[in-house]
Amino acid sequence: MKNPCDRIPSDLVPAIRSGGAGNTLLGLFSLAILISISCIAGISQTKMNSSGNLTHDYWGTPPLNLASNPMPDANRFMTDSMKMQDNLKLFKALNAERHKEMTSDTKKLLALANRLKAETDQTANAPLSMEAVRQLELIEKLAHSVREKMKASVVN
């Protein structure tokens, strides 16, 4: 394969290989264009607010709120740990209250079911009365309530 430099006159080959004056000017011109583009881009991102101060628009992303990521300090860690302890106490109290409600509802449910069973045993083959149907609906509501309370628990 032929060398591409064979077609260039021999007196220009050393200047091209050493990067002669033409390449230096081209390099400086390219550098000047790059610098001017970056300055233009920087100016377009700078705006003035109503008080006359410069503000920067960093590609349309809003600035972070300083309160969203505060600097760590010992007082904040202390208050956070105290809040966590208070929350744990509150969660335990709410779970204890929920447990008491479940226990009382279960006792009511058992009493209603036993009473309905006693009534239906007395009238073995007779159809259910309206009172028995109302008791069944009440038992069903109470059972759903107990089931939901068993599913739910207060956690952090």
- Say if residue 106's pLDDT is above 90: yes
Residue 127 lies in a domain: yes
C-alpha span between 141 and 144 (Å, rounded): 5
149 inside domain: yes
Q: How far is CA 2 from CA 7, 20, 101, 103, in A?
A: 10, 24, 96, 97
Report which of residues 155 and 146 the model is more confident about: 146
At residue 105, the pLDDT reads: 93
User: Measured between alpha carbons, how far is 35 from 14 in angstroms, rounded to an integer?
Assistant: 30
- Give the chain's domain count: 2
How much of the chain, in percent, has pLDDT values that exceed 90?
A: 24
103: in domain:
yes
User: At which residue do the structure tokens 């064979």 appear?
Assistant: 6
- Whether 62 is in a domain gets the answer no
What's the rounded Cα separation, in Å, for the pair 150 and 142? 12
Other CB atoms within 10 A of residue 119 CB: 14
Kindly state whether residue 99 falls inside one of the protein's structural domains: yes
29 lies in which domain range?
Answer: 8-43
Say whether pLDDT at 40 is over 90: no
Q: Is the pLDDT of residue 18 over 90?
A: no
Distance CA 100, CA 92 (A): 12
Extract the tokens encoding 109.
Answer: 């449910």
- Please check whether residue 80 lies inside any domain of the structure: no
For the ranges 45-54, 102-111, 118-127, 147-156, the lowest mean pLDDT is seen at: 45-54
In a domain, 71, yes or no: no
pLDDT value of residue 129? 83
Give the pLDDT band of residue 48 (cuts 50, 70, 90): low
> How far apart are the C-alpha atoms of 121 and 125, rounded to whole Å?
9
What is this structure's pTM? 0.46
Residue 123 in any domain: the answer is yes
